Chains A and B, each alone.
Chain A
Amino acid sequence: MVLVLAIGDLHIPNRAPDLPAKFKSMLVPGKIQHIICTGNLCIKEVHDYLKSLCPSLHITRGEYDEDSRYPETKTITIGQFKLGLCHGHQVVPWGDLDSLAMLQRQLDVDILVSGHTHQFKAYKHEAGVVINPGSATSAYSSITYDVNPSFVLMDIDGLRVVVYVYELIDGEVKVDKIDFKKTSTPAI
């Protein structure tokens, strides 16, 4: 059982002052094995904070990130799953699932995590899963109106991944979950 936190688009300090207090109290060090971050943190303090939660931190570059050294895309293998990470502003049209599927094929990953739209999505198709953890601070987005703060926690266990989405609605944290099972890797 490997816990992976998918989080991003915090836009601190330009669009949001800080993570919601309820999220902060839930995210404690030592419980999560990996953090994958879609980008747009934007400042070093946020990077350090995430690093303190878990040393295995993977970040891709968002268009507002202060640190320009983050890569445009990243692939990570966790257990039986290959995960792909990309902020998403590079994939036009923004938020379009078919275009994201193309990126997924290109990176050859089972799970693609991307952001930019600030809207939570978890979408399954034959080749795999596309996840958007939304914005953890419900930062302003020109694309999506009225977002709630959200992040995603994936529990990877063998060939199965359970995706938990945590959303802050009206001051309460609501959790939803989606199950995905991977078919064994097809031959090339």
Chain B
Amino acid sequence: MISDGVEDEEKWLTAGIAGLQQNAFYMHRALDSNNIKDALKYSAQMLSELRTSRLSPHKYYELYMRAFDELRKLEIFFKEESRRSCSIIELYELVQHAGNILPRLYLLCTVGSVYIKSKEAPAKDILKDLVEMCRGIQHPLRGLFLRSYLSQVSRDKLPDIGSEYEGDENTVMDAVEFVLQNFTEMNKLWVRMQHQNKGPKKRTDLNHFGIGQFWHAIGLSGLLGPAREKEKREKERNELRDLVGKNLHVLSQIEGIDLELYRDVVLPRILEQVVNCKDDLAQYYLMDCVIQVFPDEYHLQTLETLLGACPQLQPSVDIRTVLSGLMERLSNYAASSVEVLPEFVQVEAFAKLNNAIGQVIEAQPDMPVFGAVTLYSSLLTFTLHVHPDRLDYVDQILGACVSKLSGKGTLEGKATKQIVAFLSAPLEKYSDIDIALKLSNYPLVLEYLDDRTNKVMSNVIIQSIMKNKTHISTADKVGALFELIKGLIKDLDSGGDDEMDEDDFKEEQNFVARLVQMLYNDDPEEMLKIICTVKKHIMTGGPKRLPFTIPPLIYNALKLVRRVQSQDENASEETTASATPKKIFQILNQTIEVLSTVPVPDLALRLYLECAEAANDCDLEPVAYEFFTQAYILYEEEISDSKAQVTALYLIIGTLQRMHTFGVENRDTLTHKATGYSAKLLKKPDQCRAVYACSHLFWVEDQDGIKDGERVLLCLKRALRIANAAQQMANVTKGSSGSVTLFIEILNKYLYFFEKGNTQITVASIQGLIELVTTEMQSDTATSDPAADAFFSSTIRYIQSQKAKGGSTAEKFEPIKV
């Protein structure tokens, strides 16, 4: 049925156009021979095609446009008096003889246009006449197009200020009256379309006879169900809405309308019509139209009136979008220039908007949460643009949001997205997180988010801090911040936490770690407080989070130690400050200890060693010793993986080598242990290397550093024995001698200490090693090892270059034969 309808429409349109064109042809022929009577006859016939009820608005428009074109040409003819052969007043009379009212009115408007131009009568009289006479057409579609035509032809002839049609008799008021009236009538017609064809009762008898085609013939689709019917109606209405809206546009172009006129006459009249028509489609469209076409300054000054209309609208109107649109416009207006800002304050824009929103929300208790949040979001954007310094306003909005949210439980879906956007707005505006932290209602809003969204928000907050590189500088602010982001810091109460992807979790925690780096204050006391605050918070994180959150805190504390250390040296002993190195080390010790609950011994060991070195720099021997003890315990008891042991051992040896604060006893104990560990590593080559690394523990280049040549040599010899054993093992197990690399390494160490002046290292011993290596490399069972060859060659080259240096070095190296 329906598809039939569409095809039929096409047919009718084509027929209509054909009829129109044919009559137009005759009309033009008549015009060419200056035959007014015939011209009018044919033009009336032509316009009769517009009397059809069969076309949908879309198709009617096509027909209308062609008629419009023809009427334009007719108008041109009318303008030329000489061709007319009658006066304009006579013409005006003549056209009223047309048989049917619709063509009559179109012709009247056309002539009217020429009439006004001729100025033979006041514009206002003609306009009034025309706009009244159009009442004759009450059919919505035809009426709308007719009045649209009237609007089009009259546009440039309105008695506006500065226009040629202005005069004593014609004023702006007349122009305004004319447009307002046309608008009002058009709106009524438009609204009537909605209620048209609700199956007029008296025709149902025809339906019974199954004359559905008849229905279609008249363009009424009473056979469709009521819902589809309504939908179709709405679609058609939407296609026509711009015709109605055009009038508002015309009003906005009238220069003579100043603020007063707008406020006292124009706006109230428009709003009256909008409210009274009680049609939601019209109300929504027209409110939006008013907001879009009239200038923002006017809106500001008439804010109360405009907002006052809102509660009077139909409840089904999407008032949220309207208000949001208004606030957006005003925000942009505020953003456009600083000078307009005082106006906002003067008209108390914020208060009025806030009230209006409150009223709307109250009036619609069933409004979904995300709808309310959207409104508050728009208001927030507005406030951030217009009153960025009024944190109390921002807080108010947050507070209002909280009250709306209370009692709704946690949210989901669209609402959460809106809330995230809502909460992100202040962060973007105020690049300093401090300001957001001052908003007392901010954390309250966060409470209503579910865990996942809470985390999302926390991430947003941290990213904002990272982007703006803000340094959070007091313990209180830090505390407040960590409260805000507690979703990341610890497991929130609501159980059933969906398992997070491991990579995502790592990323999240790494973010928190980076955040910890952003906390800083010049004052050591305050910095210490910050560190303690952070410690308190991250301790609630549980074993999963500690390995990520504790290290950055440790380093913050170590940096503080360094800062305080230099002050300490200058200050007297009796300082009452609590930020002393000793105190900080205590905290460090406690903190690293917590890692044992995870456990992560490798990490803890490294941190202990770092602290030991820092304690060394502060000359706190017992503290440093304690840290070393802890590190050693971890090494002995917790680190069993061979590779991990090797790395850990190098760290121990490297750190120990740099310690200058230890007395002989302590140093001996620790060194003895370190060499012991070295010799007990699993693989022989690892043992060998660790042992010769230990040789450096007995030789420190510093002024009062230890330089125990004998013990160095002991280490090197021990390393040599291990290397030998390794060679023999290789012989036995693989049938070939292993790599000579170890020997070459040891040789290099001999050379190192030889050069540094260790008298225990003799030329003979070096020579011996060189021969050993050469023999090994040339032996039958030797595996070819190009890397070792290259190493040996470069070592020999080194010796030669030392010989070539001249001076005492050359003398020293001279005896070595290569």
- Interface residues in chain A, defined as those with a beta carbon under 8 Å from any beta carbon in chain B: 12-18, 21, 43-45, 63-64, 89-90, 92-94, 96, 98-99, 101-102, 104-106, 108, 126-127, 140, 142-143, 145, 186, 188
Known A14-B552, A142-B614; judge A92-B793 contact (CB<8 A). no
Pairwise interchain contact A94-B787, C-beta atoms closer than 8 A: no
Pairwise interchain contact A140-B559, C-beta atoms closer than 8 A: yes
Across the interface, B791 reaches (CB within 8 A) one of A63, A96, A98, A106, namely A106
Pairwise interchain contact A143-B658, C-beta atoms closer than 8 A: yes
Known A108-B794, A143-B658; judge A17-B517 contact (CB<8 A). yes
Chain A residue, CB-CB nearest to B613: A142
B507 interface hit (Cβ, 8 Å): yes
- Rounded to whole angstroms, the CA-CA distance of A31 and B69 in the bound complex is 64
A66 to chain B, nearest CB (A): 8
- Rounded to whole angstroms, the CA-CA distance of A121 and B514 in the bound complex is 28
Pairwise interchain contact A13-B552, C-beta atoms closer than 8 A: yes
User: Interface of chain B, helix or strand or loop or mixed?
Assistant: helix
Among A45, A105, A108, find the residue whose CB has the most chain B CB atoms closer than 10 A: A105
Across the interface, A89 reaches (CB within 8 A) one of B506, B517, B617, B650, namely B650
Known A92-B654, A94-B654; judge A105-B610 contact (CB<8 A). no
**26 A–B contacts from the bound complex (CB under 8 Å):** A12-B514, A13-B517, A15-B555, A16-B517, A17-B466, A17-B515, A18-B466, A43-B506, A43-B510, A45-B507, A89-B654, A92-B650, A92-B693, A92-B696, A93-B658, A98-B752, A104-B794, A105-B794, A106-B745, A127-B798, A127-B801, A140-B555, A140-B559, A142-B558, A145-B562, A188-B793
Pairwise interchain contact B555-A127, C-beta atoms closer than 8 A: no
Q: A residues within 8 A CB of B614?
A: 142
- Interface residues in chain B, defined as those with a beta carbon under 8 Å from any beta carbon in chain A: 466, 469, 506-507, 510-511, 513-515, 517-518, 551-552, 555, 558-559, 562, 606, 610, 613-614, 617, 647, 650-651, 653-655, 657-658, 693, 696, 700-701, 741, 744-745, 748-749, 752, 755, 787, 789-791, 793-795, 797-798, 801
Q: A residues within 8 A CB of B653?
A: 92
- Rounded to whole angstroms, the CA-CA distance of A17 and B551 in the bound complex is 13
Q: A residues within 8 A CB of B794?
A: 104-105, 108, 127
Chain A residue, CB-CB nearest to B800: A126
Pairwise interchain contact A17-B797, C-beta atoms closer than 8 A: no
Chain B residue, CB-CB nearest to A11: B555
Q: B residues within 8 A CB of A105?
A: 748, 791, 794-795, 798
Across the interface, A102 reaches (CB within 8 A) one of B518, B552, B748, namely B748
- Rounded to whole angstroms, the CA-CA distance of A186 and B513 in the bound complex is 50
A55 to chain B, nearest CB (A): 22
B791 to chain A, nearest CB (A): 5
Pairwise interchain contact A93-B801, C-beta atoms closer than 8 A: no
Pairwise interchain contact A14-B795, C-beta atoms closer than 8 A: no
Pairwise interchain contact B797-A186, C-beta atoms closer than 8 A: yes
- Rounded to whole angstroms, the CA-CA distance of A89 and B605 in the bound complex is 15
Q: A residues within 8 A CB of B651?
A: 63, 89
Q: B residues within 8 A CB of A44?
A: 506
Across the interface, B654 reaches (CB within 8 A) one of A15, A93, A108, A188, namely A93
Q: B residues within 8 A CB of A145?
A: 562
A112 to chain B, nearest CB (A): 12
Q: A residues within 8 A CB of B789?
A: 188
Q: B residues within 8 A CB of A64?
A: 606
- Rounded to whole angstroms, the CA-CA distance of A106 and B739 in the bound complex is 13
Q: A residues within 8 A CB of B559?
A: 140
A149 to chain B, nearest CB (A): 14
- Rounded to whole angstroms, the CA-CA distance of A45 and B552 in the bound complex is 17
- Rounded to whole angstroms, the CA-CA distance of A105 and B693 in the bound complex is 17
- Rounded to whole angstroms, the CA-CA distance of A96 and B517 in the bound complex is 31
- Rounded to whole angstroms, the CA-CA distance of A99 and B650 in the bound complex is 14
Across the interface, B650 reaches (CB within 8 A) one of A18, A90, A96, namely A90
Known A64-B606, A92-B696, A188-B790; judge A14-B466 contact (CB<8 A). no
Across the interface, B513 reaches (CB within 8 A) one of A13, A63, A101, A108, namely A13
Q: A residues within 8 A CB of B752?
A: 98-99, 102
Q: B residues within 8 A CB of A16?
A: 517
